Amino acid sequence: MRVSHFAFSLALGLGFLSAATVQSQTIYPLHRAEILAGSKFDFKVEFPGAPKEAVTSVTINGMDPAKILGSKPTFVEREDGQDYSALVLRDVTLTKPGIYTVSAKMGDQIKTVSWDVYAVQKPRVAKNVILFIGDGLSVAHRTAARIMSKTISEGHYGGELAIDDMPHMALISTAGTDSIVTDSANAMSAYATGHKSCVNALGVYCARNKNTLEHPKIETIGELLKRKMDMSIGVITNTEIEDATPAGIVAHTRRRADFNDIVKMFYDVKPDVIMGGGSPNFLPKSVNGSKRTDETDYLKLFQEAGYRFASTDKDMKDAAADPKTTRLLGLFNTGNVDGALDRRLLKKGTVAKFPDQPDLTDQVKAAVTVLSKNPNGFFLMVESGRIDKYSHSLDAERAIFDTIMLDNAVKYAKDFAARKNDTLIIVVGDHAHPVSILGSYDDDRAGTTPREKLGVYAEAKFPNYSAPDAEGYPASVNVSRRIAFNFGAYPDHCFNAKPYLDGENVPAVAGPAKGEFVANEKYCTQPGAVRLTGNLPKEANSGVHSGDDVVLTAIGPGSEFFRGHMENVKVFRAMVSALAVPVKDRAKK
Amino acid sequence: MTADDPSGAGPTSSASLHDGLRLTRRQLCTGLGAALALRPAQAHAADAEVIHFDMFYKSFGVRGIEFSDRLNNLVNKTVAIKGYMAPPLKPESRFFVMTREPLAICPFCQSDADWPLDIVVVYLKQASPMISAGTSIDVTGTLALGSYQDIETGFVSQLRVIDATYRKSR
């Protein structure tokens, strides 16, 4: 995701700042953590100023931590050579529910946090859970998709989206431990672990470790359901499989860009179905086109572990149709799988290089076919990931088409679930974008520039997209009266209120000043183009996320958990509650 | 082949000669003014074979990429190609990356930005002023294929134009 680069450098800056100003001890998990009884996490306390062990003490519920945690944590003076000392115990489990009070003392300074350790008290109501993530999915994406896909006249829509037509709904707030605005790594981590973390982090708390892989870990739902319930796990996306949202099901790293490590984490956890783009990080470095730094051949390793490999839509469907397939690895592109608008209508992006990429809906069908063979049930995470990427690139039509694609995938899942009513389906964005529908851009209005073409209030009328096809897509996005889908945050760029028919928008490019971005001149000479001065810091190369809440809809057993406003970590709690994840580990076979 | 010969002539990979990382951007922030033992070939735009990004690959798949026969036949010959200079690190350099489209990101400057797979690494005949990243350029020089790791920066490339000159496209 484009913005992560910008967010990452900001995060680094903030990290230095906090390192300089933090005075008190930090206890991980942080204050107010909700911990599923029986789940694994790393316990850590950091003492600033690198004190000796003798001047520190830690208690949990007033007792020696070793008594509560089962073994003695290790004290590391000057961890990683830095100006703090650490007390660490990895892979801790708490089995007794209740409030835990943790105190860390250094001299006369005391820091106290409390954790809420909870167990699922009710019986299992869902055999399966399907979690749909519309990356960056915001209210305007839904509305625009509904206008295009269901039509609207005289104020009435021609139908309901599958993602809207669900009995339960909640507003989800997405803030992290570091900021009111988050990224897809931290956002997914909250859904997948039930713990909030910081920008760029997956399955870890953001501590002060130098090594990105050594920050205090929290067990992910992928690991948990494999370990405790022997359920099948599926992770499917149309982004690179190593990208933040899919990685969230398996990964533990402070830095989401650790793609090569993330491939190893997928291999370690072994979700039964893995599908997306991003093949170069699976290839040994001697292969032309590899992005690995070692000679490990993960395509080979996965196949040796019983995975059927698919590189095209046809391969994938053949694999799903084969009753022997119980594990499936699909890698359909070297980068992201092309979005619905490029695959279906415009044939831009990498469609010429990869002419047989699957649609997300077909990926869901294939995944459900393979995963539902497990009598213990399955957990499937499905991401429509380019809603976010196209919103970063200020490319409205591509983002809206991929929202329609998400809707089709959800419709299929709802039909599957309706057969037995044993599947909890959740559809949610992971964070918002500052997007809004201002009216319509109407070519019949006088003038050439976007503000002349923009119809607001009554002048917006209704867009004139052609009737949608069977899958809810109009035949063209380049109609004379189009949704004016606007972005509230942008870098310097040129804009003419037309769809980007020649390929995804690239609003800004690196400028002459290091780290600063300027308008991509390619668009400045187009008819009607105006030059917009960015309202973002000059380091931003694209649109950014916003701190708005996102909408969650849910259907199926356990969906009644959702109501009103909820923190994003409650999504994890809803899923483990519906599945009644037990405190005790299952007996070894 | 020798580690400082970007022609890449000889066995497949020089990456093993170095313990460096592949595409390490941070390392690239140092020492781009590598003294390179460039080949003496003279590049004349007039007799250059024109190549395009579109013709690079025979196969470009998820299992890896293969160069086209035409490209293989042009190794050590003078070629001309149009593209965009990726955001350079220094105002003057002998080494830059050329891409099909102007890059929105600066993989040299940003920790988790990545290069597209279809890039051309250009080693100039002499250090020259770099230009703005959004400007289309024409490069002329000698084509080299095969894995080569830049001795100073650790940057691994598969396709290079060496002993090159460039100018802004008209």
- Residue A522 is encoded by which pair of tokens? 């390619």
CATH number for the domain including B57? 2.40.50
> How close does chain A come to B38, measured CA to CA in Å?
24
B158 HSE (CA, 13 A, CB side) = 22
> How close does chain B come to A558, measured CA to CA in Å?
38
Question: Tens digit of pLDDT for each residue in B99-126?
Answer: 888 776 666 655 455 777 788 999 999 8
Q: Which amino acid is at A191?
A: Y
Interchain proximity B147–A286, CB inside 8 Å: yes
Contacts of A293 in chain B (CB under 8 A): 21-22
> How close does chain B come to A512, measured CA to CA in Å?
6
Within 356-415 of A, beta carbons closer than 8 Å to B belong to 393
Give the span between the Cα atoms of A253 and A244, in whole angstroms: 10
Question: Tens digit of pLDDT for each residue in B24-82?
Answer: 333 333 333 333 333 333 444 568 999 999 899 888 899 998 999 999 999 999 999 99
Position B85 in a domain: yes
What pLDDT score does B45 carry? Answer: 54
Spans of all domains in chain A: 128-434+545-578, 441-532
Q: Which helix or strand (DSSP H or E) is residue A541 part of?
A: none
Q: Exposed (0-12), middle (13-18) or buried (19+): which is A81, by Cβ within 10 Å?
A: exposed
Nearest alpha carbon to residue A23 among A142, A128, A104, A118? A104
Q: Which of B15, B87, B110 sits opposite A9 (nearest CB)?
A: B110
Residue A344 per-residue DSSP state: I
Residue A46 per-residue DSSP state: E
What pLDDT score does B7 carry? Answer: 63
A62 touching chain B per CB within 8 A: no
Domain A128-434+545-578 has CATH 3.40.50.150: no
- What is the average per-residue pLDDT within B79-102? 83
> Range of B20's domain?
15-168
Residue A323 per-residue DSSP state: T
Contacts of A518 in chain B (CB under 8 A): 134
Beta-strand runs (E) in A278-403 = 308-310, 328-331, 378-384
Position B124 in a domain: yes
What pLDDT score does A497 carry? Answer: 98
Position B5 in a domain: no
Contacts of A299 in chain B (CB under 8 A): 63
Q: What is the ipTM of this complex?
A: 0.81
Number of domains in chain B: 1
What pLDDT score does B17 carry? Answer: 27
What pLDDT score does B91 carry? Answer: 67
Q: Are A298 and A282 spatial neighbours (Cβ–Cβ below 8 Å)?
A: yes
Question: Tens place of pLDDT for every residue, chain A, 589 residues?
Answer: 333 444 434 433 333 334 444 479 999 999 999 999 999 999 999 999 999 999 999 999 999 999 999 999 999 999 999 999 999 999 999 999 999 999 999 999 999 999 999 999 999 999 999 999 999 999 999 999 999 999 999 999 999 999 999 999 999 999 999 999 999 999 999 999 999 999 999 999 999 999 999 999 999 999 999 999 999 999 999 999 999 999 999 999 999 999 999 999 999 999 999 999 999 999 998 888 888 989 999 999 999 999 999 999 999 999 999 999 999 999 999 999 999 999 999 999 999 999 999 999 999 999 999 999 999 999 999 999 999 999 999 999 999 999 999 999 999 999 999 999 999 999 999 999 999 999 999 999 999 999 999 999 999 999 999 999 999 999 999 999 999 999 999 999 999 999 999 999 999 988 877 778 899 998 999 999 999 999 999 999 999 999 999 999 999 999 999 999 999 999 999 999 999 999 998 776 5
What pLDDT score does B150 carry? Answer: 79
What pLDDT score does A323 carry? Answer: 97
Residues B131-155: b if buried by 16+ CB within 10 A, e if exposed: bbbbeebbbbbbbbbbbbbbbbbbb
> Which residue blocks in A383-516 are alpha helix, DSSP H?
386-392, 396-418, 450-453
What pLDDT score does B135 carry? Answer: 77
Contacts of A5 in chain B (CB under 8 A): 105, 110-113
